[in-house]
Amino acid sequence: MRALRRFLTRMVNLATRRAQDERLREEIEEHIALQTAENLRAGLSPVEARRQAMLKFGGVEAMKQDYRAERGLLFIENLMRDVRFALRMLRKSPGFTAVAVVTLAMAIGANAVVFGVLNALILRPLNVPQADSLYQLMRGKDKAGNHSFPDYRDLRDRNHTFDDLVAYGATVAGLDTGANPSSAWVLLVTGNYFDGLRLQPYLGRLFHPADERGANSAPYIVLTHTYWHTHFHDDPGVVGRVVQVNKHPFTIVGWRLLSSTGLLCFSLPISLCR
């Protein structure tokens, strides 16, 4: 409690620093004037009396610094002084200022994107039941996690350890809904993807292993909630609509709330993957 009271007092002193500096200057001048008057009564000349009074009083600037350090927040004062100096220097060099601002904006934006991805994939728990029982299979020394679709089928057919094995791959594809074609992140998944993650649809239906009957057998799409909200304006009538993904027709079968901002499509392998 005492530390908090002291901190608040120093904050008040910082806000009223100009008035306190003026009062300190007046007190110093008064002490020097009194000592000068005493030296004059001792027979010294006015100039020498003033000089001797200054010597006896000591360093004025050092005393001011000690006073400010004792009553204020020196760190904040130095920070504000540095910021003001930096702003003055930037104002003198507009070209350098523009380059610095653009560089900082790009760096901050890149870091924000990286943190957003890490937060969604690593820091934040997955929005699936029993997320702590999910594992990702990786191969090779670099742990890239890349497997071909035949490798996945071989692992799936010989699996006796996990309840299920699913596969997915991410890419960017062009989406044409009939107006304002745009690109979107697409997650290509196997037919057992939603069953393996034990997810249920919020609207329509999801994919199932029975839909997977070879290449191009199930040209279906499951939208994420974000994509459904931003591109289809929460229209429940999107279920059953046919859209073009990389100029291939796909039918929207439902949507599911996921962290991704793209859309999910089925199945692997399909012509979209090539």
Tell me the pLDDT tens digit for each residue of 171-184: 788 888 777 777 87
pLDDT band at 227 (very low <50, low <70, confident <90, very high): confident
| In a shared domain, residues 101 and 157 | no
Please give the residue range of the domain that contains residue 117.
Answer: 94-124
pLDDT band at 67 (very low <50, low <70, confident <90, very high): low
The sign of the CA dihedral 29, 58, 10, 86 is: positive
Winning range, highest mean pLDDT, from 122-131, 235-244, 255-264:
235-244
Mean pLDDT along residues 121-128: 68
Q: Give the pLDDT of residue 94.
A: 84
Which pLDDT tens digit goes with each residue over 249-262? Answer: 888 888 765 544 44
Does the pLDDT at position 21 exceed 90?
A: no
Q: Give the pLDDT of residue 108.
A: 93
Q: Give the pLDDT of residue 193.
A: 84
| In a shared domain, residues 144 and 120 | no
Q: Would the pTM count as exceeding 0.85?
A: no
CA distance 23 to 28: 9
| In a shared domain, residues 268 and 137 | yes
| In a shared domain, residues 168 and 260 | yes
Whether residue 149 contacts residue 167, with contact meaning beta carbons closer than 8 Å, is answered with yes
What is the total count of domains within the chain?
A: 3
| In a shared domain, residues 7 and 17 | yes
| In a shared domain, residues 266 and 170 | yes
| In a shared domain, residues 48 and 160 | no
Q: What is the CA radius of gyration of the chain?
A: 36
Pairing assessment for the beta strands 182-189 and 168-176 based on DSSP bridges: antiparallel
Mean pLDDT along residues 228-247: 83
Q: Give the pLDDT of residue 266.
A: 46
| In a shared domain, residues 152 and 201 | yes
Tell me the DSSP string of 93-108: -HHHHHHHHHHHHHHH
| In a shared domain, residues 226 and 138 | yes
Mean pLDDT along residues 135-154: 71
Q: Considering only residues 124 and 162, tell me which one the structure prediction assigns the higher pLDDT.
A: 162
| In a shared domain, residues 18 and 119 | no
| In a shared domain, residues 182 and 253 | yes
| In a shared domain, residues 206 and 116 | no
